[in-house]
Structure 1
Amino acid sequence: MPNSSQRSSGKQRLIEAAAEIVSTQGVQQLTLEGVAAAAGITKGGLIYHFKTKDDLLAALVQSMIDEWDQRTRAKASESGSNSSAMLLALINDTFDMQPSEKQLMRNLLAAASSYPHLLGPVRELYDRTYRDFAGSSAQTGIALVITAAIDGISLLELLDFHHFSEDQRKAMRKALQTLAKDLT
């Protein structure tokens, strides 16, 4: 019987394989057989961790959220644990997002109409983030506006509504960083 670290690594390989398939081919092409083959695990091994495609997609979304949240919080703690540090980390994560991560998020957003339960953990992340900034300082309104601007920029690009030029992205990043640094 595999130990917990072997189970965890097998589970993580499955999530990574699912992420690669969703990113490159879309959710419609995601099958349990395809994920098992891509991860080098039997379908029975996959089913040990994920009974259904829905379970696998939910784990993928939760893994992405956890990774994003941990990465952002780690960056913020390097600069201090205040609102300004967290906002700067969010700004940098948004503007430095890799194309493969954007594509994965884009494809998962597209799948939300068929898999609405995937949005629950995303809503929880947004709720937690906005709640954290709601009572963060005397300048709560500015912190919330910066956070909403970051989310708006991301969604405009993820949903292919608008793509900002590099000059526009640099200008927005600089303006948001300046606002965030000024928070007490």
Structure 2
Amino acid sequence: MTASKKTKSATVTRNALLEAAGRVMVTQGAKGLTLEAVAREAGVSKGGLLYHFPNKEALISGMLQELIDDKLLSLEYELEQDDAPNQPGHWLRAYIRSYKKLDPECIAIHFSLLAAIAENPELLEPVQKHFADRQKQIESTGIDPALATVIRLALDGLAFIHIFGLGVPDESLQKQVMETLLKLTQE
């Protein structure tokens, strides 16, 4: 097997393990997140999991990094799609649209936040830095920083009600909320 095939195979396995960890968190909660449970869910040996993640903290860190990477990738895509890149609120509009993907897989990786709190809150430091950086960006989008922050908090709230299943609005209303948030960036 060539080096690139090994790398690709390792990446696929690593991603499968992270997805499996998210599913375990969704179905079993933070207490159920064990290396054995993740290996079983992913259909790999515990040794195969340990090759990628030598301990539970490394697995949770990997989940958190996946969360950050997914958010950055989605935001980058949406920035490229914006039809008014030189207008105030450009970055914030892309940020809003990047939240539209709240499917079960996306929500599952958000459970890494709960795993980090349960295992070792210091694991949250990269995510805290990520959100602090996003807040600075939000405040400098060219629209009122208070309004921009209200929009960000609404988006975070929408994500968290999905995570906890707390009064999730139907899809139609969620779409209207997103459209309203987008309109707020243009006023």
Fold match (TM-score > 0.5): yes
Does residue 31 of structure 1 match 2:23?
Answer: no
- Superposition TM-score, scaled by structure 1 size: 0.78
The residue that corresponds to 1:41 in the other structure is: 44
Gaps in structure 1 of 5+ consecutive residues: none
Does residue 114 of structure 1 match 2:118?
Answer: yes
Q: CA RMSD in A?
A: 2.9
Residue 166 of structure 1 deviates from its aligned partner by 5.3
The residue that corresponds to 1:62 in the other structure is: 65
Gaps in structure 2 of 5+ consecutive residues: none
After TM superposition, the structure 1 = structure 2 runs for residues 1-184 of structure 1, keeping only pairs within 5 Å, are 3-79=6-82, 81=85, 84-105=89-110, 107-115=111-119, 116-137=121-142, 139-159=144-164, 162-164=167-169, 168-182=173-187
**Native 8 Å contact 2:63 2:109 kept in 1:** no
Deviations, residues 16-67 of structure 1 (Å, cap 9, x unaligned): 2212222222222222223223333322222122111121111012112211
**Native 8 Å contact 2:64 2:113 kept in 1:** no
| Partner AA of 1:62 in structure 2 | Q
Change (3 A) 1:21 1:129: same
**Percent pairwise identity:** 28
**Native 8 Å contact 1:73 1:86 kept in 2:** no
Residue 103 of structure 1 deviates from its aligned partner by 4.9
| Partner AA of 1:28 in structure 2 | K
| Partner AA of 2:9 in structure 1 | Q
Distance in 2 between residues matched to 1:179 and 1:151, nearest whole Å: 16
**Native 8 Å contact 1:72 1:90 kept in 2:** yes
**Native 8 Å contact 1:77 1:85 kept in 2:** no
**Count of equivalent residues:** 181
**Native 8 Å contact 1:94 1:150 kept in 2:** yes
